[in-house]
Amino acid sequence: MDNWANTTAQPTLNLKDVANLPIPLPPIAEQKEIAHILGALDDKIELNRKTNEALEAMARALFQSWFVDFDPVRAKADGRPTGLPDAISDLFPDSLEESELGEIPRGWQIAEMGSFVAIKKESVDPSAFPAEVFDHYSIPAFDSGQLPSREPGSSIKSLKFLVGDEHLLISKLNPSIPRIWIPFSGGERRGICSTEFLACEASSDYGRSFVYCLVSCDLAIEAMSGLAGGTSNSHQRIRPGDFLGLRFCVGDRAIRSLFNESISSALLKGLELRKQSKCLASIRDTLLPKLISGELRIPEAEKLLAEAGV
């Protein structure tokens, strides 16, 4: 395209030039084989996405039942079975009481977010490390599949927050569109996130899984959206102080601990699926140009897919 560009003012291609650009293509039979290989990778990535969505939906549904709708408590108050094993059912009170947040289970705690969540602000200037490759957690990366983009420091022009495996990322921008992200390690690469995210760390008494489900529930999203402000409707943000001041009914420690034990494995499985999808996407993007150019032949690509478990 550079060779065909008109450079009178700045390099441009007109429609006629675009239509006449020579594009090298393999024979149609080989195109179909390439499409089949890449399609198998895309199908696996899509299956991982749907499985992860199902796992997260299960965790959120359990949180909603226990800590928002108080289903086990209401069942006991009405003399109905909770549907839970006796050892678990016995942990729930059998009545509700009035509170500043309305009816909550008798004896349960109300706590400010800031009492069990800390916002981490350790930052780095990636451009000071131009050759280093970072896992970049950004708003566009979240929206395109919740996979961090792999970028050299030279291409990142502003300060970013450092991200650790223990963190939970919560978008300040437009909280009515929830962007809540459990990061995962890139191995040898450092993780960084946009300053549009709050890089949060949950206390050990609550756990990241509990906080993830809390800030993902409709009750929390509505509360955060109500506190967001900005110069335009499309760029509303919640301030960190307002986020930390949010108050919720958080149950008691024994039930939170049980909840974390129940759903942590599902969320960890989701993380593993996301890691696998990132690897598969990298394989797909590497294979395409090599297959089209003939640098890699179909049997070699099929062997790579078999080694990747596809």
Q: Tell me: do 226 and 292 sit in the same domain.
A: no
What is the per-residue pLDDT for 117? 97
- What is the distance between the alpha carbons of residues 308 and 310, in angstroms, rounded to a whole number? 6
Q: Tell me: do 243 and 275 sit in the same domain.
A: no
Residue 69, in any domain of the structure: no
What is the per-residue pLDDT for 187? 67
Q: Tell me: do 149 and 41 sit in the same domain.
A: no
Q: Tell me: do 221 and 289 sit in the same domain.
A: no
Tens place of pLDDT per residue across the chain (310 aa) = 777 777 766 778 778 878 888 887 888 988 898 888 889 899 999 999 899 999 999 999 999 999 999 999 999 999 999 999 999 999 999 999 999 999 999 999 999 999 999 999 999 999 999 999 999 999 999 998 788 888 999 999 899 999 988 899 999 999 999 999 998 765 678 999 999 999 999 999 999 999 999 999 999 999 999 998 876 767 889 999 999 999 999 999 999 999 999 998 998 898 889 888 888 888 888 888 888 888 888 888 888 888 777 7
Cβ atoms of 202 and 116 closer than 8 Å: yes
Residue 66, in any domain of the structure: no
What residue type is 132 in one-letter code?
E
Q: Tell me: do 174 and 237 sit in the same domain.
A: yes
Residue 103, in any domain of the structure: no
Q: Tell me: do 150 and 237 sit in the same domain.
A: yes
What is the per-residue pLDDT for 223? 95
- What is the distance between the alpha carbons of residues 303 and 310, in angstroms, rounded to a whole number? 10
Q: Tell me: do 243 and 281 sit in the same domain.
A: no
Burial annotation 52-85 (CB, 10 A radius, 16+ → b, else e):
beebbeebbebbbebbbebbbbbbbbeeeebebe
Q: Tell me: do 177 and 130 sit in the same domain.
A: yes
Indicate the number of domains in the chain: 2
131: domain CATH number is: 3.90.220.20
Residue 23, in any domain of the structure: no
What is the per-residue pLDDT for 5? 79
Q: Tell me: do 299 and 219 sit in the same domain.
A: no
What is the per-residue pLDDT for 198? 96
The boundaries of the domain holding residue 42 are 29-53+271-307
What is the per-residue pLDDT for 31? 87
CA–CA distance from 89 to each of 82, 100, 209 (Å)? 7, 26, 21
Residue 21, in any domain of the structure: no
